[in-house]
Structure 1
């Protein structure tokens, strides 16, 4: 009898546990259905109706219908499918209460602009976005595919203008006439984890364009296969932008510069470019800094970048624009980068040819096996304007025509990369770059995030051994 009672108790407890699990699951679904941390949760589905209530069981049908209704703190989950529509959010979020647009857990959502008209709106009459945020705050766009923004030359995949505190994360943007992602006159912007493919088919702007924007991060993005006929750049920071960071991005198979920092005609300053990999640029340099139309480019730092196998140079401090115009620059540093195998018929590692640039530093870089020169400073650049120090040069050619220089305290020899053919530029234990760098303004961390220095002395190049 005692054994029988124990079995009855176990059976009764098991029933209670199962019932509890079912109740909890139902409560979880209901909670997920209607409430986020700071607002409500809504749903979109291809099988929904805009006359529905927007719940999980009664979802809306169009994203724009939701975009007209969402308020601060609300989250919109979009179910799998292809949505042929343009999206323009009506409302802003608030500090701590972002409005979130996201695909539903693990589902593939595509906003497809094929045959969708992108009319001109607002101040930027020649730029339009398939997903466009204008004059708004505290919005996050996450895990969407935005493709085929093809209506006209100014069609962007995602366009942000006159907005602040916007996060664009983990999206795929492809096949656009203009930028994959364009950011104009904004503040506090984050572009992270996005993939941009086949942008700039119409020749306007760049794959990622950031102009007139203060305080921003462009990080962990992958940019590739920009349209070759358009001859446009990968990531471009320009035209009065300030206080920004461009880091941990991968740029490849782009026709023009992989990363381009250009003042255009406005004071552009406080930009850090670090930890990026640029390779396979088909018709330009890996990285460029310029002032095309007379704006002052100031306080720009390039460090821990890897630029290799590009058409011309690994990095260039240049002018571009009108030869007869002004191209001012000040305080430009190129420190602890790795430049390898740049130059097809002609080209090199690092080059400085802007005669108006002041206080340029080229220090602690590895320049190895580049085509025409390792480091070049044009003969018409005033000597006092550029410091070249503590670089490792492999295959120095004494190319006076291209202004090749060694600088001071340089190291000459094979840097002994682990496997450069596979893009592995870590140093072997016997590399001559180890412990030969300068501590002056050296980055606190290397490309991998390891602390500098190791063992008390600084290495040359993007990696600390």
Structure 2
């Protein structure tokens, strides 16, 4: 029988310490390669999402309309004879074409319909796109705010563009553009108005450009301000470098809806406080997709507070999709935190109209590693009001400690606290399925272990709220825990999970698989399954169409366990598959 993982063959590579924080050193690139690897032979390309979901096919550079960036995998390292069509009409140019990202310009043939990538392997799954009216502007370091904002006569500043656009407009920021001085309220860019449903305002990096908003000298990079009588929503922020002393981007506000934050580089190296480097409050229908959130708090004078997080969906933020993000090497407490905090409006206590449990949450296909406390913390959720689903995530080296300076926290891969700050307790089922977790909860090895360390954890609150574990794959190091010792195990149910490395599987779960999962090379962060793995076809049907790589599920007679499906070479992505996520 294969041996259990040991500290010699599954050791944490390259550990280093700074301010007492243990971190994976030099593994960000390797981890990115796991997520962005070459698709398996025989798999058609998969489209995950686009930055813009609507735009004009006229105006802009060459009068050929908006540039759109599509993210996925399997497109090929160069275009060759491949193409993108929008509503059946082919795009006119492709300034960027890589295996995981294509930027194309719509052109006059584009029509409202589906974005489809066609290569020698066939056509991808479709993503919807709306061709509509709207102006296209440009900002360049050579420009002037007295210009008209055209490609030939661009504006000079992001602030002028933000203040001049009207609903439906897109502004592209050219290479070298930066806004690092304060506009208002501690922010480099203060957003005080919004677009309209179906006609968002968009700030987007020009293809291949590096553009920066914010700095570590300013509290905020981008900040939405809520003024009386105004609603700030219907915005797209895409392809930008966002920086802040505390928050690189803080969005939301009363009545705020339809934010699309896509493909940004987000960091707050000196960050600390009671918020997140990315924070959304009082917001609804937030799409946080394909962002890299990294090195948050790693240069702070001291270890950040347990109330400071890399990505934070807070007060009454619902209908959230957080997918395909790479959140790594942060000194924050949690990588992704959901916690609805009351704001005492109009008064604290029973009269408060804020801080209710959150719902309609989809957290999927993220790569999360290198954080002090939890990888994903669902503190205040109520799936009875709208599904709460966590799936296809790859999570490792989280819950490593040490304890934050303001007290202990929890140290799990995925944690459901069951907390309630206002209104009724959460109830229903939090669905946690087809995730791969490795080396979670190493805080257990440090002095004064608190018992809240493990791959999964369930707090004691909200007795009608069930954490359901299905089709997950957990690889622990000896001495780590599958479920935190403090977990309320009567509130955890599930089946068809694989457990390896920390002894017997949890007895409160059924149809456990206790065997070496035969991963390709977990010590080098390749968590794909090898042929013959006991995880293959061992899952139950969860109506999930794709894995973390975009490979169609199931490939065999049943669903595979964990985030990755073992590829059957003759099969490909289903045509017409629905888009994962939403809520």
- TM-score category of the 2 structures, normalised to the smaller one: 0.7 to 0.9
**Deviation for aligned residue 1:165:** 2.0
SS at 1:461 equivalent: coil
Q: How does 1:324-335 map to 2 (within 5 A)?
A: 328-335=426-433
Change beyond 3 A, Cα 1:253–1:52: closer
**Deviation for aligned residue 1:33:** 8.0
> Which sits farther off after the overlay, 40-49 or 443-452?
40-49
Alignment match, 1:173: 242
Change beyond 3 A, Cα 1:133–1:34: farther
Alignment match, 1:132: 190
Query: Normalising to structure 2: TM-score of the pair?
Result: 0.60
Q: How does 1:33-432 map to 2 (within 5 A)?
A: 38=133, 44-52=139-147, 60-70=155-165, 92-93=166-167, 98-104=168-174, 107-113=175-181, 116=182, 118-119=184-185, 128-137=186-195, 138-143=200-205, 144-148=211-215, 150-151=217-218, 155-161=219-225, 162-174=231-243, 176-185=244-253, 186-198=256-268, 201-228=271-298, 229-231=303-305, 232-254=308-330, 255-264=332-341, 265-281=355-371, 283-291=372-380, 299-310=387-398, 311=400, 312-319=411-418, 328-346=426-444, 347-357=453-463, 358-370=465-477, 371-376=479-484, 378=486, 380=488, 383=490, 385-397=491-503, 405=507, 407-432=509-534
* Contact in 1 for aligned 2:288/2:322 (Cα 8 Å): yes
Q: Cα deviations across residues 22-74 of structure 1 (Å, max 9, x unaligned)?
A: xxxxxxxx98489967455555554555445556665554444444444xxxx
Structure 2, gaps ≥5 residues long: 1-58, 67-132, 206-210, 226-230, 342-354, 401-410, 445-452, 567-583
Alignment match, 1:21: none
* Contact in 2 for aligned 1:367/1:375 (Cα 8 Å): no
CA distance in 2, matches of 1:313, 1:177: 27
Q: Cα deviations across residues 152-193 of structure 1 (Å, max 9, x unaligned)?
A: xxx32112353232111011112x122211111321111110
CA RMSD, Structure 1 to Structure 2 (Å): 3.2
Instruction: Say which structure, 1 or 2, has more relative contact order (CA 8 Å, 6+ apart).
Output: 2
CA distance in 2, matches of 1:309, 1:366: 15
CA distance in 2, matches of 1:380, 1:342: 18
**Deviation for aligned residue 1:129:** 2.9
CA distance in 1, matches of 2:136, 2:412: 50
CA distance in 2, matches of 1:345, 1:68: 48
Change beyond 3 A, Cα 1:136–1:40: closer
Change beyond 3 A, Cα 1:169–1:344: same
The alignment of Structure 1 onto Structure 2 pairs a total of residues equal to 385
* Contact in 2 for aligned 1:377/1:405 (Cα 8 Å): no
Q: Cα deviations across residues 285-307 of structure 1 (Å, max 9, x unaligned)?
A: 11111029x99986310011111
CA distance in 1, matches of 2:530, 2:370: 25
Larger radius of gyration: 1
> Which sits farther off after the overlay, 325-334 or 254-263?
325-334
Q: 1:443 aligns with which of 544, 552, 569?
A: 544
CA distance in 2, matches of 1:192, 1:117: 23
SS at 1:434 equivalent: coil
Change beyond 3 A, Cα 1:375–1:242: same
* Contact in 1 for aligned 2:323/2:365 (Cα 8 Å): yes
Structure 1, gaps ≥5 residues long: 1-29, 71-91, 120-127
CA distance in 1, matches of 2:430, 2:234: 28
Change beyond 3 A, Cα 1:295–1:243: closer
Choose between structure 1 and 2: higher helix proportion: 1
CA distance in 1, matches of 2:462, 2:60: 62
**Deviation for aligned residue 1:149:** 5.6
CA distance in 2, matches of 1:165, 1:379: 40
